[in-house]
Structure 1
Amino acid sequence: MPDLLRYDAGPALVPDLLRYDADAGLLVTRYLPGRIATGTPAAGDPDAYRQAGRMLALLHCGPTSSPRDKGRYETTMLRKCRSWLDRAEGPSAGRPLAPAPHLAAARKWLDGFVPAPVELVPTHGDFQPRNWIVDATGTLGLIDFGRAELRPWYTDLVRLEHQEFLADPDLAPALFEGYGRPDGPFTPGRWLDHLGQSLGTVVWSHDMGDEGFEEHGRRMLARTVEALASPRTHRRPG
């Protein structure tokens, strides 16, 4: 999605687009100087998250924003969730990749899910401190657009919600202050993405042999199914 790198990012830093090949799925960008935010004070600094919120708002208002999609996005995500769930239940692995009660709860919820139209916006796809750059002035930038795609706005928050927002409750309000809107409700479609990213993480990590990340996916799944069982399913996971 090269158009994502063709908008005015204001004070935020984004790499200049040099060339792309849509058929090959390749982007070539100019090097963006700075330090990865992970492992620096910025990774836990509410001021950095306010910058991140402003940067995310600019991205989501980019030139390729789309009207409501007539349910195609959620239909596709539902199909992916069921495919990942089939694999997580173990036919190819020889064993379940997550606790059976969690997989059964996910299956029951997905069986009752009805896709609905959603608004699609340009999203990053891996929005978290490991893809934020901090320059010498403390200005935040964004790199690694390899998963950029049109999706609902809340999909860029799922990874933060299962990591940084759990570790420090002050970070989510700071990000939404920068974003310029309050956090929206946890709608069924938003939970669908939580299940999708949880199951996808478990299955992908298993295929890659990354046991640590596979366990992270199981924790994501546990938090998600626990929240879905709560009467207050609008609450943030965890």
Structure 2
Amino acid sequence: MPQRQRAPARAGTPMTRTDDDLLAVARDQLGPVTPIQRFDLPSRVQLLVAGDGQRYILKRHDRPGRYRAEADAYSSWVPSLGGNAPTLIHADPDSLSLLLTVVPGRHATQLQEGSTGELRAYREAGRVLRLIHQAPPGPHAGTRAPAHLAERMRWWAGRAHSAALISASHLHALHAWADRMAAETLETAVCHLDFQPRNWIISPTGQIGVFDFEHSRLDVRVRDFSRLEHRFWGHNPGLREAFFDGYGCSLGPAEQDLLRRFGPLEAVTAMVRGYETGNTELLAHGCTLIADLY
């Protein structure tokens, strides 16, 4: 089942009145539904079973912007993925909630490292990401995405420096990165922007289902490879080869150089996220990566 690596719901926590109100949204669409308690899901994601035995996900957002981004994705380009993504049943702007079908299978993070199953999953994930990048409006040259990335870098760098995670010299280097990025003109496409194994479900037939589209938007295409490049492919280059085999083409020299240049953004994001969520592994990854870069 889909899950996010955030603070887990406390075991045995009863449903709140707000949760009861949210269930009314599902009942309006499906009729009687039964909540199924799953402690591996965050509190804002609820598994439901309808009267016919079909399972659904009721996902509540706490930020209107994230809700709008995911609702727009499901209503526009996600349907082009077919069975590789959940289907949106209903979007409720009043409660910032989405009612979605369940993609059956097991979580990709449960695969044994170095196994043939892991290689197959990465190959299939590459195929699905190619479908995402080819979805309307499709790849085209753009100028707004680099400026947005520069703004985000300055924001992440400021948070990292305020938390004493980086030095003044690192802060200066990250601001210089932002200045260079803002002047770029780069190929853009519809991007997932959190494309990694925690957001993949593997069906019994080996098909990959992708979820969590709350970050998706038109962005620099190479960015969708950055998290995999800097967090996952380093310990097993075979995963990288399998992924691009599924994607259908490898990166050219200029794209590979651009992918390496996204290392600082990946580093500072991991540092701040790890620090704020208490994820020591993610924090250590970000610290190691930025030390290697600067």
Which TM-score band (shorter chain)? 0.7 to 0.9
Retained in 1: the 8 A contact 2:202–2:208? Answer: yes
- If each structure's strand is expressed as a fraction of its own residues, which one has the higher value? 2
Q: How many Å apart are 1:99 and its aligned residue?
A: 5.3
> 1:127 and 1:199 mapped to 2: Cα distance?
18
Q: Which residue matches 2:263?
A: 194
Q: Structure 1 residues 38 and 187, CA, compared in 2 at 3 Å: closer, same or farther?
A: closer
Q: Structure 1 residues 220 and 22, CA, compared in 2 at 3 Å: closer, same or farther?
A: farther
For the pair shown, the structure with the greater C-alpha radius of gyration is 2
Q: Which residue matches 1:233?
A: none
Q: How many Å apart are 1:85 and its aligned residue?
A: 1.6
- What letter matches 1:197 in structure 2? E
> 1:36 and 1:43 mapped to 2: Cα distance?
16
- What letter matches 2:279 in structure 1? D
The percentage of counterpart residues that share the same residue type is: 31
Structure 2 stretches of 5 or more lacking a match? 1-72
Deviation readout 1:156-191 (Å, 9 max, x if unpaired): 111111222011011111111111111233477545
Q: Which residue matches 1:151?
A: 219
Retained in 2: the 8 A contact 1:113–1:188? Answer: no
Q: How many Å apart are 1:209 and its aligned residue?
A: 3.6
Q: Which residue matches 1:14?
A: 85
Asked if residue 51 in structure 1 is aligned to residue 119 in structure 2, the reply is: no
Q: How many Å apart are 1:42 and its aligned residue?
A: 7.8
Q: Which residue matches 2:199?
A: 131
> 1:6 and 1:126 mapped to 2: Cα distance?
18
Matched residue of 2:213: which SS?
coil
Q: How do 1:84-233 and structure 2 match up within 5 A?
A: 84-90=156-162, 93=163, 96-98=164-166, 102-184=170-252, 185-186=254-255, 190-191=259-260, 193-223=262-292, 225-226=293-294
Q: Which residue matches 2:60?
A: none
Count residues with an aligned counterpart.
Answer: 218
Matched residue of 1:214: which SS?
helix
Q: Which moved more, 1:97-106 or 1:125-134?
A: 97-106
Deviation readout 1:96-140 (Å, 9 max, x if unpaired): 203565444434444455522223211111111111111112222
If the length of structure 2 is used for normalisation, what is the TM-score? 0.64
More RCO (CA 8 Å, sep 6+): 1
> 1:22 and 1:150 mapped to 2: Cα distance?
22
Q: Which residue matches 1:38?
A: 109
Q: Which residue matches 1:229?
A: none
Q: Which residue matches 2:9?
A: none
Q: Which residue matches 2:133?
A: 60
The Cα RMSD (Å) is: 2.8
- What letter matches 2:123 in structure 1? R
> 2:98 and 2:145 mapped to 1: Cα distance?
24
Q: Which residue matches 1:75?
A: 147
Retained in 2: the 8 A contact 1:74–1:117? Answer: yes
Retained in 2: the 8 A contact 1:88–1:202? Answer: yes
